[in-house]
Amino acid sequence: MIRKNLTYILISFFAVVAFFITAGVCNQCGTAAPDTSEETTEDEETTEEETTEEETTAEEITEKEEKEVPTIELRIYEGPVYKEESDICYYRVEAIVTGKPAPEVGFSKDDSGGAWGKKKAQVNLTRDNPTYTLTATATNSEGDDEDSILLEWGCGELTEEHTVELHPTDVGWVDSAGWVDNSSVGIGDTSLNTDARGFFAFNISSFDDKNIVSAEVKLETPDYFAVCNFKGDIQIYYVDFLPGGLTSADYSDIPYSGPISFDWDDEPLSFSGNFLIDTILDRASIPRKLQFGITYANPATGGLAGTNEGRVYSVDDITLKIIYEE
C-alpha cells in the first residue's frame, strides 16, 4: 500500500514539473520578438555612405593623379636641307610633349603654316637671315613649359662668291705734242720723238654696296716695239679724266693716288689691295668710272729716230678681276 502511494506521489510530482515547463515555453511563444529592422537599415545606410565616400575619394585621387604639369623638348627631325629653287636652308623640328590634360603647343615661327601637324614646325633660313632661335611652349590647366633651339645655316657656304672680269670701256693715249688716239693704250717714245701716256677706264657702277672680297688690275701680252729702257720704271696711277673722253689736256692730268711702279721690262703688270677695293666702291657709289693712267717715269725723248719705242695694250689685254660675295 505504501509502495502504491509512493508511485502516485512521484507521478504527481513529475506532472507538476511538466506543467511548469510547458507554461514557460508558452510564455516565450506569446512574447513579441524584438524589432531589429531599424538597426539593419541604419547599418545598411552607414555602409552605403562609407562606400560612397570611399568611391569619391578614389575618384579624386585618380583625377589628381591624371593631371600633370606639361614638359616640352624640341628636337630636329629633318634638316638642314637646301632648297635650290628658293635658295633657302630649312629645318623641321618636333616638340616632344608630356602632361595631363594634353598640352596645347605653340611655336614662335612655322614657315609650313601648320602643314606638318600641331607639334611640328618648319623654319626657313636665308642668306640674309642665316640663324633663328625657335621657341615653343606647352600649356595646360596645370601650368606651362618652354624650350628653344638655335638653328643655323648648314647648307654649304653661307655666302656665294662671284667672279667678274671686266675689260676697259674707254682706252686711249695722248702724247706730249697733243696727239690723241682712242683705239689702244700706248706708252713710250713715239716715232716723232714725243712722250706717250696711256689711259684706261672701267665701268664699275654695278658694284655699289657689293661685298668685294678682292680686286686685281692686270695688263698683259702687249705689243712691243723697240726697247725703251732709257725711260725708267713703268708707273700706273689713279686719275680722273673728263667723261667726254681723252683730250690733249689729259697728258698733264694730276694723279689723285699713285704711282704704282714696275720695272721697265716687267710682264705682266698687276696690282691689287684694299685701296683698289675702296676706290671701286667709292666710284661705284657716285657713280663714276674707275680710271687709270700709265706712263714711263721719265718723260724724256730722244731714242731711235723715226721709231716707236715702248708698249701698246689692246682692250682685251687689260682686265679688272673682282671677286665679291652675296
In the chain, what percentage of residues exceed pLDDT 90? Answer: 70
pLDDT one-digit tens code per residue, 157-213: 888 899 999 999 999 999 999 999 999 999 999 999 999 999 999 999 999 999 999
Q: Rounded distance, CA 94 to CA 185, Å?
A: 65
Lowest-confidence region among 9-18, 29-38, 162-171, 212-221: 29-38
Beta carbons of 70 and 103 less than 8 angstroms apart: yes
Predicted local distance difference test score (pLDDT) of residue 304: 85
- Tell the burial category of 187 from Cβ atoms under 10 Å away from its Cβ (0-12, 13-18, 19+): buried
CA distance readout (Å), 264 to 1, 26, 311: 189, 158, 10
Closest CA to 138 of 78, 62, 77, 68: 68
CATH class of the structural domain 68-152: mainly beta
Which pLDDT band, with edges at 50, 70 and 90, does 32 fall under?
A: very low
What SS3 state is found at 132? Answer: strand
Beta carbons of 130 and 158 less than 8 angstroms apart: yes
Q: Rounded distance, CA 129 to CA 89, Å?
A: 10
In sequence order, the 6+-apart residues with CB closer than 8 A to the CB of 184 are 171, 172, 173, 198, 312, 313, 314, 315
CA distance readout (Å), 143 to 70, 99, 174, 184, 205: 7, 9, 84, 80, 59
Beta carbons of 182 and 246 less than 8 angstroms apart: yes
Residue bearing cell 562609407: 50
Q: Residue ranges of the domains in the chain?
A: 68-152, 161-325
What SS3 state is found at 237? Answer: strand
- pLDDT above 90: residue 73: yes
Beta carbons of 275 and 149 less than 8 angstroms apart: no
CATH class of the structural domain 161-325: mainly beta
Is the C-alpha dihedral spanning 122, 128, 131, 137 positive or negative?
A: negative
pLDDT one-digit tens code per residue, 201-260: 999 999 999 999 999 999 999 999 988 899 999 999 999 876 677 889 999 988 999 899
- Tell the burial category of 197 from Cβ atoms under 10 Å away from its Cβ (0-12, 13-18, 19+): buried
Backbone angles phi, psi at 112, to 5 degrees: -90, -10
Geometric angle at alpha carbon 206, from 201 and 207, rounded to 5°: 85
Which pLDDT band, with edges at 50, 70 and 90, does 26 fall under?
A: very low
Report residue 161 as a C-alpha cell: 662668291
Number of H helices, E strands in the chain: 3, 19
Separation of CA 285 from chain center: 29
